[in-house]
Amino acid sequence: MSTTVVTMAPARPGLLRRLTRDPGAAVALVFVVVVLLAAIFAPWLSPTDPFDNDLSQSMAPPGTEGLPLGADAQGRNLVTRLLYGLRASLAMGFFAVILGGGIGAALGFLAAFYQRWLDAPIMRLVDIMLSFPAILFGLAIAAILGPGMPAVVLALSVATVPLMARIVRGSALVVMRADYIEAARATGMGDLRLIWRHLAPNCLSALFVFATLRFGQVILLGSALSFLGLGAQPPNPELGAMASEGRNFLFFAPHIAVIPSVAIFAVVLAFNMLGDALRDALDPRLRV
């Protein structure tokens, strides 16, 4: 039994206040919360079923009675479609960041912790993965698995792994030089426990900032892949796929394409602004 005295970075008071000092960031934060809630509670908030169609209402413009955002070409209520589309797009981004970010972070920690043996091979792998833009992962994986959400989530995850690995490794290398790591090691603590208890918590701010910024990028990329027909397949509601469907009716009913496009734009913008503000508040030196 040993008691480890560890000097953790003191919890910074008033993160929320510092974050919201910038009015833009405050608006972004509120918007992100609202969007997350809307996505989570979409089945309860939606006035109709997402697949309910009423062809007599086909392409009804926004403001039609009972259809505040209008209807799409199939006569489906766009409020419902928007809520479910948000849900699908955010879920896609969430799984991609969790999966790719998780693997990337693990690789980053291992590279920094076992610098002697693992750093070089892991970083070479990261370099090689960085040699491919996300769109190529998207195309290749969609070609192998066939178009669909699993292909897009996998592609976005793979594209996230090397980026997260680099960020975490950089942050972990700094922490590794701290005295408390040496102290913890001296107590005979096992490697994995040391990483989990002392290395990882001190890299969290870098990890969190990057995950927030990446979430926006991943949604932008994923919706583009869906727009191309490589992701969510109609009639499933997903913002990029909805914009793609609406594109066919652009000249008769522009709102069908514009509503999901504006939603993507707003969500990505909010996550980017929030990520920038988080970075400034948590770690001004960190540039992603």
Partner 1 sequence: MLRHALHRLLLAVPVLFGVLLIGFLLMQVVPTDPATVRAGPQASAELIAEIRRDLGLDKPLAVQFGLYLWRLAQGDLGVSIINNVPVVQELGATIGPTLELMLASLFWSIPLGIFLGTLGAYYRGTLIDRGVMAISVAGVSIPVFFLGLILIWYVGFKWQWLPFTGRGGPVWTLDGLRSLALPAITLGGVFVGPVSRMTRTAVLDVLSLDHVRTARAKGLSERLVVLRHALRNAMVPIVTLIGLQIGFLLGGAVVTETVFTWPGVGRLAVGAITSSDLPMAQGTIIVLSLGFILVNLIVDVLYAALDPRMRAA
Contacts with partner 1, residue ranges (CB under 8 A):
124, 127-128, 131-136, 138-140, 142-144, 146-147, 216, 220-221, 223-224, 227-230, 240, 243-244, 247, 250-251, 254, 257-258, 261-262, 264-265, 268-269, 272-273, 276, 287
Q: Cβ 251 to partner 1, closest distance in Å?
A: 6
Q: Please say which residue, 195 or 241, places its beta carbon nearer to partner 1.
A: 241
Helix, strand and coil content of the chain, in percent to the nearest 5, comes to 70, 0, 30
CA separation for the pair 219, 152 (Å, rounded): 10
Q: How far apart are CA 280 and CA 122, in angstroms?
A: 29
Distance of CA 84 to the CA centre of its chain: 17
Please list, in sequence order, all residues whose beta carbon lies within 8 angstroms of the beta carbon of residue 116, skipping any fewer than 6 positions away. none
Instruction: Name the minimum Å distance from CB 70 to partner 1.
Output: 16
Question: Rounded to the nearest whole angstrom, what is the least distance from the CB of residue 265 to partner 1 in the complex?
Answer: 5
Residues 51, 235 contacting (CB under 8 angstroms) = yes
Q: Which is nearer to partner 1, 206 or 239 (CB)?
A: 239
DSSP state of 54: -
Determine the Cα angle at 218 with ends 135 and 260, to 5°: 100
CA distance 227 to 242: 8
CB 90, CB 219: distance < 8 Å: yes
Q: Mention every residue, 6+ apart, whose C-beta is less than 8 A from residue 134.
A: 155, 156, 159, 221
Of 208, 202, 223, give the one whose Cα is nearest residue 268. 223
For the CB of residue 155, give the shortest distance to partner 1 in the complex, in Å: 11
> Which residue number, 108 or 138, has a Cβ lying nearer to partner 1?
138
Min CB(65)–partner 1 separation in Å: 26
Alpha-carbon distance of 38 to 29, in angstroms, equals 14
CB of 230 to partner 1, least distance (A): 6
How far apart CA 200 and CA 191 sit, in angstroms, is 12
Degrees, nearest 5: CA angle 138-143-146: 100
Q: How far is the CB of 206 from partner 1 (least distance, A)?
A: 18
Distance of CA 249 to CAs 83, 108, 177, Å?
21, 47, 59
C-beta of 79: minimal distance to partner 1 in Å? 20
